[in-house]
Amino acid sequence: MSQPRSRREFLALTPGALAIALGVGAATGSTGPAGSSASIGPGTTNKIAKFLSSNTIGNSALTDDGTNVTTTEDIIPSADSARILGAAALRWDRGYIRRIDAQGNSLALIGQNIQYTLGSSGLLPDLDNSRNIGTSTNRWGTLYFASGISTVADIMNITGQNKTWTLGNALTPPDDLGRNIGSSNARLLKLFSLNIDSGNLDLTLKTNQTVVPNSDNALDFGNAGQRWRNGYFSGNLKARSKNVLVLDGQSMTQSSHTVSSADTDIVTYSLGANVYTHVIVRITGYVSFVTLSTNQSVNLKVKDGTTQVGNTMVVDGALSATASIPFTIEAVFVETSAVTIHITEGAVAADANTTVFINSIVVLGES
């Protein structure tokens, strides 16, 4: 019999032919361990031989049919984490594996277009909420999903520009009033919406842009049944192209003072800082004369701080007569600072028998 020409032909020999190839007899030889005589056991075609005992050669779990090498036993390394399949320059082309158990260690898949196909419920972590996909410094570039993303109670950050959201249902938070869009120091620049319905929410709108209707004189701000409660403006307020008068304050408490020899306060009004184009003050009252009143003119004035505004109201009484003479004083002036408005009385000489009464004060601002 000719000698085998290759390793594969050698390994495919039957035990009998193997013995002849090794130069041993059918039952004896010097090739066994420690010089023992090796016995050749029953052989199977394509089976790779192994020592069944110290002096018997028979079938192993490996079969080489010239196309594939198969095994009927597990292939394990001689020690834990001590052996490698392939090498950096001698790689296996493909691996068909039903399951990979990394025993808690990281599994690295190096290359492009790693495809995952599984007929079960999905790609799952071993424990709930125990594993991440990527890290802060090793991020995935793009995720493609055919259906929605459920983050349970976590926040999903989408970075980049012009991210398009397309969904057949509404975008809703997991609980009512439970989520914000933006924050006080991370604000959205613009919101383009066809309609914003806040329901019964107390909605506070803040904007750094002018709010205008989409056409002139076509839309209302509130209506007869749903009115705005208060409106706060620091500048002019116009209606029908005219300035609006705003009631700054009023007092209907009667005040009085007998006539003094110099301008003396009957009553004062505190005007807060404002940006009115004009301040309008209207005072009503009367001067009470009795039989002992002196026959002299009583001067009534309005002062913005220490400066008189408007004209002096002069009231004369007849000598030795009893009378109550009504008056109205008005003054219009410009004042944007906080100031005290004085309503004063005075005459050439004091008159304890003549009394000036103030019945009402109305302060209006032209805005």
What pLDDT score was predicted for residue 18? Answer: 54
The Cα 319–Cα 299 span in angstroms is 17
- Range of the structural domain that residue 52 is part of: 7-71
Mean pLDDT over residues 25-40, rounded?
52
The residue from 37, 71, 105 where one domain ends is 71
pLDDT at 106 over 70: no
pLDDT in tens, 48-65: 888 888 888 888 889 999
Candidates 76, 22, 77; CA nearest to 51 is: 22
| Structural domains counted in the chain | 2
For the chain, strand residue ranges (E) read 39-40, 47-53, 56-64, 69-71, 238-239, 242-243, 245-251, 255-259, 264-271, 278-289, 298-304, 307-315, 323-333, 339-346, 351-366
> Tell me, what CATH number does 308's domain have?
2.60.120.760
DSSP one-letter code for 108: -
Mean pLDDT over residues 319-342, rounded?
91
Residue 339 forms beta bridges with which residues? 271
11 Cα distance to chain centroid: 70
The Cα 36–Cα 56 span in angstroms is 10
Residue 98 lies in a domain: no
Return the amino acid letter for 5. R
Residue 239 lies in a domain: no
Residue 48 lies in a domain: yes
* Strand (E) or helix (H) holding 217: none
Residue-wise DSSP of 142-188: ----SS----TT------SS------SS----SSTT---SSBTTB--
Mean pLDDT over residues 70-97, rounded?
88
Give backbone dihedrals phi and psi of 30, rounded to 5 degrees, phi first.
-115, 20
The residue from 47, 71, 95 where one domain ends is 71
pTM of full prediction above 0.85: no
What pLDDT score was predicted for residue 208? Answer: 76
What pLDDT score was predicted for residue 176? Answer: 77
Q: How confident is the model at residue 288 (pLDDT cuts 50, 70, 90)?
A: very high
Residue 153 lies in a domain: no
The residue from 27, 55, 71 where one domain ends is 71
Residue 85 lies in a domain: no
Mean pLDDT over residues 150-163, rounded?
51
Residue 227 lies in a domain: no
